[in-house]
Amino acid sequence: MNIIYIRTSTKDNQEPKNQLKSCINMVGKQDYRLYEEQQSAWKKKQRPIFSKIIDLIKKGKVDNIYVRDLDRLYRNRKALVSFFKLCKIYKTKIHSARQDWLENIHNIEPPFNDIMFTFLINVLGWIAEDECNKKSERIKDAIRKTKTKTVSYKGNKWGRKEIPPQKKSFIKKYKKMNPEITIRTLAKKFNLSKSTISRILSQNHC
């Protein structure tokens, strides 16, 4: 089975027809199934359509998957590496209109095509790890510590904003006056998380 996967972001007005045209040019006269969805491609986001494709891959039913760009699959590079490894296990070839160097790898005679594909996965993994390390360094560089607090490089306090004692006291008094009210209701009323409400109510001060 050949699959064309079209993904547009939820935050912009991307034109799916442009993606489809690029993919059809790669597929040529072969039959294909079109899967399309509007969703973010970050790892933590759930994509029902893409999850169906992964299930088909695991069942050995997908020979080729076509996208306009690899970021249509995942924007998180570590997640993309994992997907490449999955496709390698189930012998699904990934094709990207913008990363046409993939075709050069697919066209290499065996067993060197498999060697190069493994090398590609390792390179993507190294890049992902490097990006992760750089991000960590940027965060550390942005923090400035003093004797009493941790602040950003602009001098702003680092971390969650502290809830004023007056507000904490009011929440406890409100709960005391309305013993039947739930933590969920209090969280909605004061625009705080349920865990924050629970922590405030468990504190001894008034």
Q: Where are the domains of the chain?
A: 2-110, 165-202
Split at pLDDT 50, 70, 90, the class of 162 is confident
Structure confidence at residue 149 (pLDDT): 56
Split at pLDDT 50, 70, 90, the class of 206 is very low
Is residue 45 within 8 Å of residue 16, measured between CB atoms? no
Structure confidence at residue 151 (pLDDT): 54
Could you tell me how many residues make up the chain?
Answer: 206
- In sign, the C-alpha dihedral spanning 108, 66, 120, 100 is positive
pLDDT in tens, 121-152: 888 777 767 776 776 676 666 665 555 555 55
d(C-alpha 193, C-alpha 112), whole Å: 54
Cβ contacts of residue 89 below 8 Å, gap of 6+?
A: none
The CATH architecture assigned to 2-110 reads 3-Layer(aba) Sandwich (3.40)
pLDDT in tens, 79-129: 888 899 999 999 999 999 988 888 888 888 888 888 888 888 888 777 767
Compute the chain's Rg from CA coordinates.
25
Q: Which pTM was predicted?
A: 0.60
Is residue 79 within 8 Å of residue 109, measured between CB atoms? no
Closest among 86, 93, 27 to 63, alpha carbons compared: 93
d(C-alpha 181, C-alpha 156), whole Å: 36
Element at 169 (helix H, strand E): helix 165-177
**Amino acid (one-letter) located at 168:** K
d(C-alpha 200, C-alpha 168), whole Å: 6
Cβ contacts of residue 63 below 8 Å, gap of 6+?
A: 1, 2, 91, 92, 93
